[in-house]
Structure 1
């Protein structure tokens, strides 16, 4: 879209179970494959239109199940991460990538500073504002907040198979991740790793730092390999596995006095 044309987009973020009184606040930055009409599918090839580059398959479904189980509010983007990746700051090239792995994104080539700003204003800042509002509402209600961001990842990256099935990611604050990793023996059939298949050096902990670490909120990023999320039954099973790790970890934090509002 040429610079100067309005990029106002309706309903770019959804907040579900806003009044949830559980300790957890869920974020799902890559929940949607929706590309607003004005972006003309970003010029993507038909075979790439619903690829992992466009969104995180299964992440929203698992987040919804966790929201119900934990009585947790959930904030999710309703726009494809190729239009704007809400887990990246505006100055990052990967916020609006020209290429994602091997997938070319013609609609992101040569964006002007004004076009990049318009997208950030339309998508990123409303998402961040929604997160801030929910946290502030919880603070006023005397509720503690523990930040959990939910993602999925592709089983093959640049032609290489990824053996890891579940990634537990963190930045400087590893308390919640440590507590979850301490219980991985309860899922002995899964390959679970710390800061895999991505880590802080890959820029994936932006939301954790911005919304969690900066506020001294316990936080963790969960990654599930998306071939384990092909059906609704898969999503339900993986949500239960996440709860198997999360619930005792949350109890550990409670005993340590973590997550105070």
Structure 2
């Protein structure tokens, strides 16, 4: 039997902020942290890997927290790096526990036994999945339907190729909210948005949306910011405000007030 992945002193793998928020929006940040559990000895990676986009979505958590405050919306986020387990991937996905991330080798993820892989699922993915599922269930009722919004960032240059868009609005087979946001983006100050950019459903990036929103018929969208736009507090403030206004306007089309009543 292998020892526990997480020491009690490291805390829980998932955190919920503003759990009692009044907004119908539930914000999710699966790639919020670059922390590696002490038991994994930094997975044997080079120091620059742990500060790179390979380890986390740069600026995503801070931006999500600012949107959470503006909307008075709950926020669910992962407290350990996606290099340990990517909570936006199901256990059967090959890249749920990556051996490579772009140009970054992850030695501590190579040749894992079935038991070691299952431990990552049990201690990282399952608590996250269960916490989000429970929050969605608790906030769903006959006259109340939550809206799932996941917050991510992507690197400006990937495998040497530059990406020129500011923001991507992603969806799986339920495109209602993404469509409405794309239609309204320019009038709310977002002039460089694109559908399913820089990834799409075929890349396996809509797992959270599928599992917690699509199968429950809930409105949903995945937002991808170019990380160099939200890697400072000024950028985070700007994009949180832009995103909040766009979300509010888009959800009005569905007769949903995005902000909590204290913001009204």
Pick the TM interval, shorter chain: over 0.9
Matches within 5 A, 1:18-57: 18-57=19-58
Contact preservation (8 Å) 2:167, 2:226 = yes
Taking the aligned partners of 2:144 and 2:72, their CA distance within structure 1 comes to 12
Q: Which residue of 1 aligns with 2:262?
A: none
Hey, which bits of structure 1, 4+ residues long, moved more than 4 A?
Answer: none
Taking the aligned partners of 1:62 and 1:142, their CA distance within structure 2 comes to 29
Deviations 1:44-89 (A, max 9, x none): 1112111000000111111111111111111000010000000000
Q: Which residue of 1 aligns with 2:78?
A: 77
Shift of 1:244: 2.8
Is 8-17 or 173-182 further displaced after alignment?
8-17
Contact preservation (8 Å) 1:21, 1:143 = no
Q: Where do 5+ consecutive residues of structure 1 fail to align?
A: 256-261
Q: Which residue of 2 aligns with 1:135?
A: 136
SS at match of 2:164: coil
Return the match for 1:5 from 3, 6, 15.
3
Shift of 1:189: 6.0
Q: Which residue of 1 aligns with 2:260?
A: none
Taking the aligned partners of 2:218 and 2:190, their CA distance within structure 1 comes to 31
Taking the aligned partners of 2:5 and 2:121, their CA distance within structure 1 comes to 10
Taking the aligned partners of 1:251 and 1:213, their CA distance within structure 2 comes to 20
Deviations 1:163-208 (A, max 9, x none): 1110000000000001100112225663110000000000000000
Does residue 1:236 correspond to 2:237, yes or no? yes
Matches within 5 A, 1:1-261: 4-8=2-6, 10-139=11-140, 143-187=144-188, 190-254=191-255
**Two-structure CA RMSD over aligned residues (Å):** 1.5
Shift of 1:8: 3.9
Deviations 1:130-188 (A, max 9, x none): 10111122125953200000000000000000011100000000000011001122256
Deviations 1:219-257 (A, max 9, x none): 0000000000121111000111112321111101227xx
Taking the aligned partners of 1:189 and 1:212, their CA distance within structure 2 comes to 25
Q: Which residue of 2 aligns with 1:259?
A: none
Taking the aligned partners of 1:58 and 1:88, their CA distance within structure 2 comes to 20
SS at match of 2:224: strand
